[in-house]
């Protein structure tokens, strides 16, 4: 990783795109001198509290419902180690490497505000693991919003548990030694700093947002291809018309659709073909635009959270004039709601895509060969691909049910309202993955449908999208194994090469 670009965590917080780039292993992370000073100041306050024998939650007391028990001397450091051991009780399959790295980067970002009072060695170890490609194995389930994921990550810092290095699972102690690192010793409050706050939720939310933004762009491209193949009536996307209902997202989608379909001979030939299109075709600006508006809201919530100190307690001031304040900043209500909203918004992209692709395979609505293949009967064509899309859309309907509206009581009623934001973010990521596969299926079907218009040129953007796909996936002249094609397109929808080809075509169109 030595040749990678470096992102510096300075006085300003990481952006969600920077955090996602770190999570995907695209860049390395470095701490600026100003950040180091913030960490030292916060830690000096904690050490002054210990020196003076003050009572402060999680520093000189137990945790949660045990906060009335006062600890002294070595007990305070022992609490940190015990916190990680007792709180690392996650279950289920491990998080992906990218998801775990997102949480680690989010931990670094939050702790670097300097208000947690964590030992700088904890942050240095997190950065070292990220840059060395050492990723703790973190069970995916068991969080009500925070705690468990951070505890599993924290254990790796002290050489306990398993980690992944280049997709190979090995003991944390072995991986640390191979990277020239040693397990760190934890001090007072360090364990609490690792399990507290909204860091898990925020890291996962950054991934979800970057993926949602990318998918929203693809939904416009693929929807435009279906519109074209279904002989859509372009008047519904008229700029003056859309300006009469000026939702920002809708206006943006209208502009994109007009650019994607610019110079389309297919669209031009079929103007007046029908009085108006079905809503799944006619209302792409309204539906996709509403999703974009929700993405904008989610972005604002994440940007605020990244600039926030979310530990409890927090330290303010300096060692000579400080306050230590118990608070509720670890409660992730704002971001939890945002993740539920994003799940709903992306589920709708998948839902309307399934309706469009259903129209593509039905000769009654497309006037194209049934199931988009010649020789129907011996060939089933794209018949069952629509079944797969319907299944994913149905699953997303269930997953889009809000998590934040549920509630449980933990820690002997000390924590009697929970955001459930972390499982909500994980659920949102699954919705995005499902919607990506629905759109991959629509992409395959729309490209196949456009093949039935020989001699007619598609739009600038839709033509580029069709060309990009056909460079890797040939037309379906007869039935063949579909799953590998769907998987390939879904993978490409998460990458940049095809998107860049479409963007380049749109740039030429506007010049």
Question: At 18, is the pLDDT very low, low, confident or very high (cuts 50, 70, 90)?
Answer: very high
Q: What is the pTM of this model?
A: 0.95
Q: What sign does the dihedral 431-432-433-438 (CA atoms) show?
A: positive
pLDDT tens string 360-380: 999 999 999 998 998 888 888
Q: Is there a contact between 8 and 32 (Cβ–Cβ < 8 Å)?
A: yes
Interatomic CA distance for residues 156 and 166, integer angstroms: 16
pLDDT exceeds 70 at position 314:
yes
All structural domains of the chain, each given as residue ranges with its CATH number in brackets, are: 5-196 (1.10.275.10), 205-510 (1.20.200.10)
Over the stretch 388-412, which tens digit does the pLDDT of each residue have?
A: 999 999 999 999 999 888 777 766 6
Q: Does 476 qualify as catalytic in the annotation? A: no
Least confident range from 16-20, 422-426, 429-433: namely 422-426
Cβ neighbours of 356 (radius 10 Å): 26
Q: Which of 57, 146, 237, 443 is catalytic?
A: 57
Each residue's pLDDT tens digit, 182-204: 999 999 999 999 999 999 999 99
Contact 335, 301 (CB under 8 A): yes
The answer, yes or no, to whether the previous bond of 313 is cis (omega within 30 of 0) is yes
Tokens read off for 208: 């979800």
Is pLDDT of 8 > 80?
Answer: yes
Whole-angstrom distance, CA of residue 104 vs CA of residue 32: 18
Burial of 1: CB neighbours in 10 Å, binned 0-12, 13-18, 19+: exposed
What tokens does 476 get? 């379906």
Please give the pLDDT value at position 68. 81
| Maximum pairwise Cα distance, the chain | 85
Q: Are 267 and 459 in contact (CB under 8 A)?
A: yes
Q: To which residue do tokens 């095809």 refer?
A: 498
Task: Taking the CA atoms of 224, 226, 227 and 231 in sequence, report the sign of the dihedral they define.
Answer: positive
2 pLDDT higher than 60: no
Phi-psi region of 121 (alpha: psi -120 to 50; beta: other; left: phi over 0): alpha
């Amino acid at each position: 990783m030595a040749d990678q670009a470096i992102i510096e965590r300075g006085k300003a917080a990481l952006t969600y795109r920077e955090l996602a780039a770190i999570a995907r292993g695209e860049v390395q992370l470095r701490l600026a001198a100003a950040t180091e000073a913030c960490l030292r100041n916060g830690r000096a306050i904690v050490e002054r509290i210990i020196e003076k024998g003050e009572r402060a939650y999680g520093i000189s007391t137990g945790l949660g419902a045990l906060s009335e028990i006062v600890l002294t001397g070595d007990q305070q450091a022992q609490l940190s180690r015990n916190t990680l051991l007792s709180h690392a009780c996650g279950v289920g399959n491990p998080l992906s490497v990218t998801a775990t790295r997102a949480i680690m980067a989010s931990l670094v970002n939050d702790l670097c505000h300097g208000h947690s009072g964590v030992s700088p060695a904890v942050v240095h170890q997190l950065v070292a693991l990220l840059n060395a490609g050492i990723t703790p194995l973190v069970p995916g389930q068991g969080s009500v919003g925070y705690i468990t994921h951070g505890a599993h990550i924290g254990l790796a810092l002290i050489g306990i548990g398993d980690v992944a290095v280049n997709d190979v699972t090995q003991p944390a102690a072995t991986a640390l030694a191979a990277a020239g690192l040693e397990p760190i010793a934890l001090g007072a409050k360090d364990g609490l700093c690792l399990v507290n706050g909204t860091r898990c939720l925020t890291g996962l939310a950054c991934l979800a947002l970057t993926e949602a933004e990318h998918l929203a762009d693809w939904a416009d491209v693929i929807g435009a291809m279906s519109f074209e193949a279904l002989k859509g009536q372009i008047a519904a996307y008229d700029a003056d018309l859309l300006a009469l209902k000026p939702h920002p997202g809708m206006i943006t989608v209208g502009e994109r659709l007009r650019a994607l379909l610019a110079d389309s001979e297919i669209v031009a030939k079929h103007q007046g073909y029908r009085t108006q299109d079905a809503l799944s075709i006619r209302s792409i600006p309204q539906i996709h635009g509403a999703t974009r508006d929700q993405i904008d809201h989610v972005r604002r919530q994440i940007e605020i959270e990244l600039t926030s100190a979310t530990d409890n307690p927090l330290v303010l001031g300096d060692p000579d004039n400080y306050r230590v304040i118990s608070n509720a900043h670890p409660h992730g209500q704002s971001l939890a709601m945002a993740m539920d909203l994003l799940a709903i918004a992306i589920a709708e992209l998948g839902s309307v895509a399934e309706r469009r692709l259903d129209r593509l395979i039905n000769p009654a609505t497309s006037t194209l060969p049934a199931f988009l293949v010649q020789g129907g009967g011996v060939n089933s064509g794209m018949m069952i691909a629509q079944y797969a899309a319907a299944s994913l859309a149905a699953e997303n309907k269930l997953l889009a049910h809000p998590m934040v509206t549920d509630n449980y009581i933990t820690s002997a009623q000390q924590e009697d309202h929970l955001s459930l934001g972390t499982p909500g973010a994980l659920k949102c990521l699954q919705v995005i993955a499902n919607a990506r596969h629905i759109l991959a299926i629509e992409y395959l079907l729309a490209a196949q449908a456009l093949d039935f218009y020989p001699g007619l040129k598609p739009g600038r953007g839709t033509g580029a999208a069709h060309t990009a796909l056909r460079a890797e996936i040939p037309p379906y002249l007869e039935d063949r194994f579909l799953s590998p094609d769907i998987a390939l397109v879904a993978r490409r929808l998460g990458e940049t090469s095809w998107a860049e080809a479409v963007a380049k075509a749109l740039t030429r169109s506007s010049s």
